[in-house]
Structure 1
C-alpha cells in the first residue's frame, strides 16, 4: 500500500507546482504600438493569462479602462465588447487615433482570486501607443496605485534593445521589487528549453530601476510584483505593475 501512495503523492506535487509555475499577466495588447496615418483605427485586446504558455484565465469586466492623452484621461469602459482570448473570457475595443502623439491605455482589473496561491491578484496594466511616430513625456507616471514608468521609450525599439523602467508603488520607487518578464508567444511557435525559462526574472535596484534586454521581436510583458498593505476577504493581495511593449525587427529593403 505504501508503494502506491508515494507515486500518487509525487504526481499530485508535480501537478500542483506546474499549475502555479507560470506567471500571471494582465494583458493590454493593441494591434500595433505605432499607428500610421494610413490606418488610424486599431483594435485593443484585454485579457488575463500566462502569455508564453498561452494558458488563459477568465477576465471579469475591469473596474477601470481608460486612455491618457496630453494629460487628459478618457473613460473607455463603455466601449468594451466581450471577446475570447486563449479560449477564455476577455474584452476588446476599437480606438480611433485622431491626433499625433502618445496614448497610454490603462486597465485596473477586478481582483482575481487565485486558489493555487491562496490570494487575490490585481494587475494595474498599461501599454503606450505612438500615433504617427510622435509622443513626448513617455516617462511621466499616471499616478495609479502601482506602475512601471519607462526609462526607455516604450515604442519604436528594435528587438535586442535594452529596456529600463522604474517600479512605483503609491507614487514612490519600490526598491528590490521582483519583476517577471514574459514574451507573448502569440503564434505558439516557440518553446522554452527549460520550464524556468518561460518566465524571466530581474530585480530592481535600490532606486526601483530594472533592466532587461528583449532578444526577440514581438510583445514583451513586465510585471513588478509587491504585496498590498491590505487584505481581501482575509487573503493576501498581489499588486502587479504591468507594462507591455513591442519590439520590432529591422526591415529589409
Structure 2
C-alpha cells in the first residue's frame, strides 16, 4: 500500500474516532434529586434536593445552570414556590443549585423546576427541561399522578415511588395538557460509578410513545432513573448571540427503584 493511501486511511480513522466521540456523549438531563423518595418516621421529614444539568449515565460533565425561573411543590396544602430556598453551589467549577424542604403533612408531594433555557452550541438549540419528582410523605397520598400544568409534562401511569428494580414504569407524554403521539423518550440511569457502558448506545436508552402518548420501560437496576420526553418547541428562541434557533423542550420525571432483598 502506498504512503499516500496509508495517510488517507489514518486520517479517515481519526475522523471516525473524533465523530464517534462527539456523537457518543449521552443526553442532557436536568436533575432534581431528593435525598429520599419516601419519607417515614424512620427517615425523618427533612429533605435535601440537588439540581444539576448533566449527563447522568456518563456521570458528567456538568453544565453551568443559570438561576431557575420556577421551583415549587404541589402537596397536601396546595402549591408553594420554593425559589427563596435555593442555594447556589459550585461543583466541578460549574454552578448548580440545592434546597431543603421539610415534609409537614402526610401525602404525595410533587416537586418541580422550570430551569432557565440553556444554549447548546454543539447542537445549535436552546434547551429547557421541565422536571419533576414525586416524594411520598408517610404513605398518605394518592395524588402521585396529579397534573402540574407544565407546558410539557410526563404524567405517570405507574406510581413513581415504592418501585423495585425490574419494575415496569409507564407514563403519558403531554404538551399543554394533551398527549403527544409517538414522542421520543430518552432514559438514563444516574450512574454511581459502578457501571461502564460498553458502547455509547448503552448510555441513553430510547423508546417511543404510542399513538396515545404512552411509553413504558423496565428499570433493570436499582437507583435513580430519568425519563426525558423531547419535544420541539413551536416557536424558535433567541440564543445568546441574538440568533433565532430551535427550542428543545423536555418533559422529565425522576423515579427511584430499589433492589429487592
TM-score by length of 2: 0.90
String of CA shifts for 1:6-45, please: whole Å, max 9, x gaps.
6456545543442343111010000110011241101100
Seen in structure 2, the aligned counterparts of structure 1 residues 17 and 194 have a Cα distance that, compared at 3 Å, is closer
Cα 1:81–1:12 change in 2 (3 A) is farther
Segment drifting more, 17-26 vs 220-229: 17-26
**CA, structure 1 residues 208+7, in 2 after alignment: closer, same or farther (shift >3 Å)?**
same
SS where residue 244 of structure 1 aligns?
A: strand
Query: What displacement does 1:101 show?
Result: 0.6
Moved more, 230-239 or 134-143: 134-143
Give me the whole-angstrom Cα distance separating, in 2, the residues matched to 1:16 and 1:193: 17
Q: Is the 8 A contact 1:221 1:245 kept in 2?
A: yes
Q: Does 1:29 align with 2:33?
A: yes
What is aligned with 1:53? 58
CA distance in 2, matches of 1:203, 1:116: 24
> In structure 1, what is the equivalent of residue 245 of structure 2?
235
Q: Could you tell me how far apart the structure 2 residues matched to 1:81 and 1:52 are?
A: 25
Q: Which whole-Å CA distance do the structure 2 matches of 1:100 and 1:89 have between them?
A: 33
Change (3 A) 1:116 1:46: same
Question: Per-residue displacement from partner, 1:169-201 (whole Å, max 9, x unpaired)?
Answer: 11100000000000000x211111221011101
Q: 1:127 aligns with which of 110, 128, 133?
A: 133
Q: 2:199 aligns with which of 191, 194, 200?
A: 194
1:181 to 177, 187, 190: 187
Instruction: Say what the alpha-carbon RMSD is for the aligned residues.
Output: 1.8
Please list every run of 5 or more consecutive structure 1 residues that lacks an aligned counterpart in the other structure.
none
- Match among 107, 110, 119 for residue 113 of structure 2: 107
Q: Distance in 1 between matches of 2:78 and 2:5?
A: 66
* CA–CA separation in structure 1 for the residues paired with 2:93 and 2:140: 35
Any conservation in 2 of the 1:47–1:85 contact (CA below 8 Å)? no
**For 1:57, what is the secondary structure of its paired residue?**
coil
Q: Deviations over 1:121-145 (max 9, x none)?
A: 0000000000112311222211110
Deviations 1:189-242 (A, max 9, x none): 111122101110100000000010001110000000110011112100101000
Q: Is the 8 A contact 1:146 1:241 kept in 2?
A: yes
Which sections of structure 2, spanning at least 5 residues, go unmatched?
239-243
